[in-house]
Amino acid sequence: MQSKTISRASEILSKYQQIIWPVVKDYVSRIPQLPTQFQVGPRHKKFLNFHQKMILDYPERKGKYLRPTVLTLTALSLGAEIDECLNTAAAMQISEDWLLIHDDFEDQSQERRGKPTLHKIYGNELSVNAGDALHLIMWKALIDNFSVLDQRRSIQILTEFQRMLTRTAIGQTSELVLAFGKKIDIRDEDYYFIIDGKTSYYSVAGPLRLGATIAKADQAKIDILTDFGRNLGRAYQIVDDVLDLTSTFSGLKKQTGNDIYENKRTIILGHLMRNIKGEDKEKAIQIMLKKRDEKIPSEVDWIISKMHSIGSIQYAMEKARKFTTIATKILDEKLGFLKKPYVDDLRVLTEFILERKH
């Protein structure tokens, strides 16, 4: 039975998705005004149409819209108007789509939001190019802030985006280096270093910081929001890693244990490798060192069963609860400057991150 928190969170996310999606669609569908010499003529229109079809694929699949919703709620809770948020919120969502296209190719993932990944549909080269095209559209949405916001805030938002995405890229580099390496075990602090860029900053703290910047918040408030976001973002990624092993994502995901197939060094795997012994440890190492297409479902299922029996999944959820508790305490004790009813919605999303099933 769906909890009240999950139901309410779904309503909040759906509400802001309906507001932000038309802006996203407009940007992704729009053809820029090219110089006369470089416009696409009738003979080559088929290439343009194919290009547009590819770049619209992931945006049309949508997703939860958590990041742009957090961004918008933060801005509204600090006194901003909704029209001031829309370009940045759209850019936030578009950034997720191009990053996912590239990540799916790099990880050789099979599915995304219930459908084959873009590189499985169109091939590696075309999918990467589609991601690049969305990346360019993201910057256009941010540049358009200069017609909505003052110059200072527009530049601050561009700078924050570049900073946030740089840390995301560093996190991805770290994850890929470990995934392709021979070192199977990972310490918790190494895991946090990776996810602080890929999730804590990008998925939660970054949207909070961007929303606060739109609302002209001072640095002290932004710092508190960043602490809140870092802890909540860690909880979000840990729960995501647990769900990869335990959930079908409401039927959208056909394959369990993608992180194991993709050699992801999660907090769960780290705990397993510190506690598994003898022949079982040797078997686990042997499986994890295989490439994705060399692993068979029974091997992945065996790893998951060991994660359950040794307590690795329980260990991860305890960490997620710990970070959620810290985030909730910051929300209760230090974020009193956020206005109702928007802060109430942020509280629901905070609870949702721990309770969610997909």
From CA 155, how far away is CA 142, in angstroms rounded? 9
Evaluate if residue 255 carries a pLDDT over 80. Answer: no
From CA 269, how far away is CA 315, in angstroms rounded? 11
Predicted TM-score (pTM) above 0.85? yes
Domain ranges of the chain: 4-32+41-355
Residue type, 223: D
Rank 35-49, 173-187, 250-264 by mean pLDDT and report only the highest: 35-49
Nearest to 257 by CA among 270, 247, 265: 247
Contacts 24+ apart (CB under 8 A), 28-35: 28/55, 28/56, 28/59, 28/94, 28/134, 28/137, 29/56, 32/140
- With beta carbons less than 8 A apart as the criterion, state whether 18 and 11 touch: no
Residue type, 162: Q
From CA 112, how far away is CA 100, in angstroms rounded? 8
Does domain 4-32+41-355 sit in CATH 1.10.600.10? yes
Residue 1: which pLDDT band, with cuts at 50, 70 and 90? very low
Q: Which residues contact 25 (CB under 8 A, 6 or more apart)?
A: 56, 59, 60
273-311 pLDDT, tens digit per residue, is 999 999 999 999 999 999 888 999 999 999 999 999 999
Question: Other C-beta atoms within 10 Å of 97: how many?
Answer: 27
Q: Which residues contact 341 (CB under 8 A, 6 or more apart)?
A: none
Q: What's the pLDDT at 249?
A: 52
